[in-house]
Amino acid sequence: MQSCDSLSSQIETLLEVSRLSSGPPSVERKEVDLALLTREIVAPLAEPASEAGCLIEVRADHPVIGDWDLVRVRQIVTNLITNAAAHACCAPIEVSVEEFGDGAVLTVRDGGPGIAPADQARIFDRFVQLAPERLHHRGFGLGLWIVRQNAAALGGKVTVDSAPGAGATFRVELPRL
C-alpha cells in the first residue's frame, strides 16, 4: 500500500510540474486558515516522521486567515514539511504559522546538514537535489520548485536561511489579499 501511495504522489508531482510549466498557474482564491491547514497536514505525517526519529513541532495556535488557493497552499506546506523530513537527519522539525504585516508567514526549520550559500538559490530550480545519497527516499528534486512557483502565484515569496551544519529554515510569506 505504501508503494502505491508513493507512486501516486510521484505521478501527482509530475502532473503539477507539467501544469506549472505550461504558464502561470490558475488560482482559485477562497478563505483559508493557514494555521488549521498546517496542523491538518502535519497530523498524518507526525507518526511516520517520529518513527524515523524526527519529531515535528507545530506552533500554529491562532487562526491565520487569508484569501488563498487551497490547493496551492496545501502543496506549499506539504512540500516544505516533506523536504524537511527528508533532510532533518533525525533532528526535530519546527513548523510555525504567524501573522506578518498584511499577510502570513509559514516557517519550516529542520536540523539537517544545512545548505551551502552557493547552493541556496539553485535548490529552488527543477530537478535539483543536494546530497541525494543521504536521503531516505529519492524524489525528483521538484518540491522546492513547486513551492516557489505556488508562492509566486499567490503574490508571495519563499526564502531559505541556512549554513553548512546548521540546518535550514524555509520561510514563505503570503499576502492575505
In this predicted model, which residue has the larger pLDDT, 35 or 7?
Answer: 35
pLDDT one-digit tens code per residue, 28-77: 999 999 999 999 999 998 888 888 788 999 999 999 999 999 999 999 99
pTM: 0.84
- Residue 71's pLDDT is 95
Q: Which residues contact 103 (CB under 8 A, 6 or more apart)?
A: 66, 156, 173, 174, 175, 176
Look at residue 4 in the predicted model and tell me its pLDDT: 46
Q: Kindly tell me if the per-residue pLDDT of 1 is higher than 50.
A: no
Contact, 158 vs 148, CB < 8 A? yes
**162 close to 170: Cβ distance less than 8 angstroms:** no
DSSP states of the chain = -HHHHHHHHHHHHHHHHHHHHTSSPP--EEEEEHHHHHHHHHHHHHHHHHHTT--EEEE--S--EEEEEHHHHHHHHHHHHHHHHHHSTT--EEEEEEEETTEEEEEEEE-SS---GGGTTGGGSTT--SSGGG-SS---S-HHHHHHHHHHHTT-EEEEEE-TTS-EEEEEEEE--
Confidence of residue 148 (pLDDT cuts 50, 70, 90): very high
Residues in the chain: 177
Give pLDDT, residue 54: 85
Q: Per-residue pLDDT tens for 122-131? A: 999 887 776 6
Query: For residue 138, is pLDDT > 70?
Result: no
CATH superfamily of the 27-175 domain: Histidine kinase-like ATPase, C-terminal domain (3.30.565.10)
User: What is the side-by-side order of every strand in the sheet holding 103-110?
Assistant: 56-59, 93-100, 103-110, 168-175, 157-162
Residue 114 has pLDDT above 70, yes or no: yes
If one compares 3 and 65, the residue with the highest pLDDT of the two is 65
